[in-house]
Structure 1
């Protein structure tokens, strides 16, 4: 696999944080996982706008080092972020906000994207007593993004959620988040074709699988876990606490009975003949979502969920046994 090109957008006021990021992702660069680019690659005599534009157009991942200075920078917002959003909407690049310092980034065009580190807690906040822990989670998140296919990038950055869509739940400390897949637009009609239903179902399942794997890989301390993708339509996960097994789950795609969608049960035995919850594909204002038709008590009610929200609801059920 060739190295994924990584464009780093930052304010020069945060240059020290750029250097820290470069240190933490250097092993990924050395192993050929990523190929980072930032404006330090520009040499005297280069056309700055041309070099930045070329690098952005070639980037497969765009990392935003988000801070009050980043949001205050006209160049970061109007030039670099504008192109990054365009690429993200096309599905040709993945935008990852890395929250350095507390600021109102949720109100920006990229505010719907899952940020790094865990729960988008700013690295320089008191939440992170050990800054290396936060940066390690950032590096793992970039690695997870580099392993994803281009087709898994959300094409709908910045679209408005339906008013009844729930706010994303939090993952446990140490868990990383990959960039969510926003709902795919289809024509505004009352029914989905079988092809549209299957495409959305499998795309959502792949996103849920990726988020589970990245989150489990980022666990540390007394809590650990295992993830196994058994086949294209099924994965299992296990949680341990101080070596003792506390929870297991099987998540799979199935259309045979009791609903055509994504199903799960609270065991890591990989069986597909039992279930505790079912999420079926349903339209809401012409947009496909996942809707709980069984196990609503586990999923927080009968709501329309995008793939990010579905992953978080299933994850919450999975980790509830740790409490």
Structure 2
């Protein structure tokens, strides 16, 4: 198989295309004019997600890349970050969000891409009982726990950043992040509990302290519902944030608030 055929085959079977954008990439006849053009056709057909990662300053806003959400945040080139670790963390977080969303869309479509053109399944109104809401909260807590554990492991691979995840019990975990890139070091702590509404702290509560007990809370995550779905909402200092979240979105929002306290944006 030729290189061209191999790349075409790989693109056709992919769900995410990550373009490492720089002046050299845009100037490359093969990378930009052939590889990216083929990826662009797949993206227009709805079968591929394109994620530009901006490595160096370049005129990417005048290119087709401008129609996609670039990383790091706001398309700021990685080379312009004072601490490149902050940039890479933003890229990792953004890519995880894209990949997770792509996987969820794929798994939600029986029969694969052929299902893209199929009609929507009818929505049926229903009422959710306390057991369903409790089960939903339990599953959401496990998603949040898994997200924090993996994120701590990823963060610890970055120079000047250290993170520790600790399992306290089946319904609680605690994390600590240390940013050694800040003079004197900057730390952040959090304890997250599957509180099940205890002390009016919501279904899941969190405290920005290590090993915090179950008698305090800085924020609450509650299970709510409409006529069709269960979802999560975040309270206290998250007032004003999007109110209908799934477990993955909630985990991301909570993680970002947590690491900001260590000076990580």
TM over 0.5: yes
Work out which of the residue numbers 298, 301, 306 in structure 1 matches 2:240: 301
**Displacement after TM superposition at 1:151 (Å):** 7.5
Which has a greater percent of helix?
Answer: 2
Distance verdict in 2 for CA 1:212–1:189, change over 3 Å: farther
Runs (4+) off by over 6 Å? none
Are 1:268 and 2:231 matched, yes or no? no
Are 1:137 and 2:88 matched, yes or no? yes
Give the aligned partner of residue 163 of structure 2: 226
Distance verdict in 2 for CA 1:278–1:58, change over 3 Å: same
Contact 2:187/2:261 (<8 A) preserved? no
Distance verdict in 2 for CA 1:246–1:116, change over 3 Å: same
TM-score, normalization: structure 2? Answer: 0.57
Contact 1:252/1:264 (<8 A) preserved? yes
Kindly report which structure 2 residues correspond to 1:205-220, keeping only aligned pairs within 5 A, or say none. 205-206=144-145, 208-209=147-148, 212-213=151-152, 216-217=155-156, 220=159
Are 1:253 and 2:194 matched, yes or no? yes
Give the aligned partner of residue 43 of structure 1: 2
Give the aligned partner of residue 38 of structure 2: 75
Work out which of the residue numbers 203, 220, 223 in structure 2 matches 1:281: 223
Give the aligned partner of residue 22 of structure 1: none
Kindly report which structure 2 residues correspond to 1:155-170, keeping only aligned pairs within 5 A, or say none. 155-156=104-105
Aligned residue pairs: how many? 225
Q: Could you tell me how far apart the structure 2 residues matched to 1:237 and 1:186 are?
A: 42
TM-score, normalization: structure 1? Answer: 0.49
Contact 2:203/2:222 (<8 A) preserved? yes
Larger radius of gyration: 2
Give the aligned partner of residue 256 of structure 2: 315
- RMSD of aligned alpha carbons: 5.0
**Displacement after TM superposition at 1:251 (Å):** 2.0
- 5+ long unaligned stretches in structure 2: 27-31, 107-120
